[in-house]
Amino acid sequence: SAVISQKPSRDICQRGTSLTIQCQVDSQVTMMFWYRQQPGQSLTLIATANQGSEATYESGFVIDKFPISRPNLTFSTLTVSNMSPEDSSIYLCSVPETGEETQYFGPGTRLLVL
């Protein structure tokens, strides 16, 4: 099974600033997913990040707000730009098992925007 780490684990930020979240996987994976979990809500997919190509964003999410980097097969970053209190959420990185069976999740980054 994949082991996923995220940094930071939590942060408190001021509105208007940006935060970059890092996701590191202990094995090479083609696809990485970024999810958002707003308070009391379930998980919503933000985008799919493939190495060597631009991320694919879901409806309601745009690259200017959530730029993603995928420099290699074990690492990705998600930036939350120009933050507002509505961006307060848990952000989770996820990778599928080979063959897209089970999906593994990182511990999440808890973001509070004041």
* C-alpha torsion sign, points 98, 99, 101, 105: positive
User: From the list 11, 13, 22, 31, which residue makes contact with other proteins (rule: CB under 8 A)?
Assistant: 31
* Alpha-carbon dihedral 100, 10, 91, 63, rounded to 10 degrees: -120
Regarding 61 and contact with other proteins (CB under 8 A), the answer is no
Stretch that binds other proteins, among 19-27, 38-46, 66-74, 75-83 (CB under 8 A): 38-46
Regarding 66 and contact with other proteins (CB under 8 A), the answer is no
Task: Report how far residue 107's alpha carbon sits from residue 65's, in angstroms, rounded to the nearest whole number.
Answer: 22
| Residues at the site binding other proteins, with contacts judged by CB under 8 A | 4, 31, 33, 41-45, 48, 58, 92, 94, 96, 100-108, 110
